[in-house]
Each structure stands twice: as structure tokens, then as C-alpha cells.
Structure 1
Amino acid sequence: MEFETTQSARWCRLQQMSPLDVHDLLKLRQDVFVIEQTSLYPDIDGKDPEALHLLVRDGSSNALIGTVRVTEDVQAGTARIGRVVIAPSARGTGLGRKLMLAGIEKVEEILPSGVIDLSAQAHLESFYRSLGFETVSEEYLEDGIPHVDMTRRCGAGN
């Protein structure tokens, strides 16, 4: 997935991040998920150390403007895309679609015939459908926000 020339993007594990990367990742997620969405939940859930993280920074300010997390279970042939977050300053630029496409591409590298799962905020269900995901659950509350479970086979296109 190609990002804007004014942006830098890289995949890494938590252990490969600098202290500033870890700080910026957790701060962006906190600012959006906990403060902006007023959802008190345990963002630090123990999955970050084993996950792959895509960090997208603004090239001029070096601010973290977007991130996505991929957790994989190679033996089960499944992966989960989650913690998709975009800084308010980068919303409306198409970055969300780019983050998701990059996440799908990464999972397909790891699990070419696998399945990708995600828990989508219900108001974004049509966005995820446009990326080839299908809804597989009724709407439910997760951390006080309506969600649906969605899935996509690797190689399904969008």
C-alpha cells in the first residue's frame, strides 16, 4: 500500500519501536478511543507485544497520524485487524482506507488463504463492507459503543 509522499509508514513489533513510538501509539489510541469517544476500557490489553503495528507519521511534523494493529494466529489461519485509529487532523483524507488496505495486504502476506476478523463500530459497517468484509453478528455493545463482528477471506478482493 502506498501512502502520501508527505507521510512515512512502517510495520513493526512493539519491541522494535522507540520509546517515542510507543508513547505516541498509546497516546493517539487514548486520545481517540478513551477521551474523544468517552469509552473507559483497557486499551493496554496484553496483545500489543505480539501484534504487528503500522505507524503512519506526518512527514513534516513527524506526528503519528494513524495506526492499525494486526494480530495473527498462523496455526488457526486467522488474523484480526483492530485498533484502527486516525488523528483528527488526518481525518477525511482517505487515510482510514489506506490503513485498512495495508492491514489486509499484510495479513494476506502472512496468511494467503486465511480469514481476517474484526469488530467494527456499527456506524462504520458499510465502510468495512466496501473492503470486502461481511457482517457475521447482530449488533452488540462493546465498551458502550455499538459494534458488529465482520470477516473477510484473504484474496477476496474489495
Structure 2
Amino acid sequence: MAMMELNVKHTSELAPIELVEIFEARTSVFVVEQNCAYQEVDRTDFDALHVRVIENHQLVAYARIYLSQDGVHFGRVLVVSDERGNGLGRTLIEGVLEAIQERFPGQPVHIQAQSYLTSFYASFGFEAVSDEYLEDGIPHIDMVKM
């Protein structure tokens, strides 16, 4: 039976190997797989919460939470390619929303969702608040959960 763990740590709490595993997974999905040349690791990473789903000591899903003036944001949502279709996305978002509720109760939660995932995020109570736009050549919609 697979051992699965949901883990939330601030950047300052991560061991170097954990941070490298996160950056490796993010770069693999968002730069290589999606063929987008952009600054994937950025200054937001200095003061962020990193939500990881770890199975058998391997990172299988990830998201980053951070604060800004208009509320709480999360992004960089990924499930590693060979684990997709196993419900890990739902497990991850449930964990992200739980972490946000614990640490930032009552704050609106903002996301920039890839358009094809609009109904997935709507199932968690997110509502579209923008028209579709291209970000790095990929259609997105801004969504908020109050």
C-alpha cells in the first residue's frame, strides 16, 4: 500500500533537497512540458507556503500559496505527469484550501486558472472574475473564492 502524506511548509522550513525537488517538478511541468520560457522560480518563493503531496518519498503533487494586498493566492499547481488521473489534483486542492483556512481565515482566495480547469476549480467554490486571456500562450481565467 502506498504511503501518502500532505505536507505544508514555509520556504524557510524546507530542507535544500526539498526545495530542489519542488523547483525540479515545477520546471519540468511549466517550462519543459508546457514549452513556456519564463522565470519559473521567482522572488515570491522567498515568502511562500509550499503544499506537497508526497507518496513513497516522492513529490507527486504541489502548489504554492502566497499573500498579496488583495488576499491569498495559490498557483504553480501541478501533478507530476505519470500520476495524473489518480485524483491527486483534488487531494492537493483540498489540502491547499485547508492550509489557507487555517492560516488566513476569512480572506478571499485568488487563482489564475488554466481555462480547461475552470469547472474543476468551480467545484471548490471558485467563480470566474475575468474574461479568458493568454498567459505564456496558455488560456487562463482569473477566479476567486470568497
Question: Scaled by the length of structure 2, what TM-score is found?
Answer: 0.94
CA distance in 2, matches of 1:111, 1:64: 25
CA distance in 1, matches of 2:62, 2:80: 9
Aligned to 2:81: 88
Measured against aligned partners, the alpha-carbon deviations of 1:48-98 in whole angstroms (never above 9, x if no partner) come to: 110100122222xx221111111124xx56100111111112111111011
Question: Scaled by the length of structure 1, what TM-score is found?
Answer: 0.87
Aligned to 2:47: 50
Identity %: 36
Measured against aligned partners, the alpha-carbon deviations of 1:139-158 in whole angstroms (never above 9, x if no partner) come to: 001111110000001xxxxx
Aligned pair count reads 146
AA of the residue aligned to 2:4: Q
Post-superposition shift, 1:8?
Answer: 2.1
AA of the residue aligned to 1:148: I
Post-superposition shift, 1:5?
Answer: 6.0
Q: CA RMSD in A?
A: 1.5
CA distance in 2, matches of 1:118, 1:146: 13
Aligned to 1:7: 4
Measured against aligned partners, the alpha-carbon deviations of 1:95-132 in whole angstroms (never above 9, x if no partner) come to: 10111111111111122211000000011111111111
CA distance in 2, matches of 1:65, 1:111: 25
Alignment of 1:4-153 (within 5 A): 6-59=3-56, 62-73=57-68, 76=69, 78-153=71-146
CA distance in 1, matches of 2:137, 2:131: 15
AA of the residue aligned to 2:61: G
Bigger proportion of residues as helix? 2
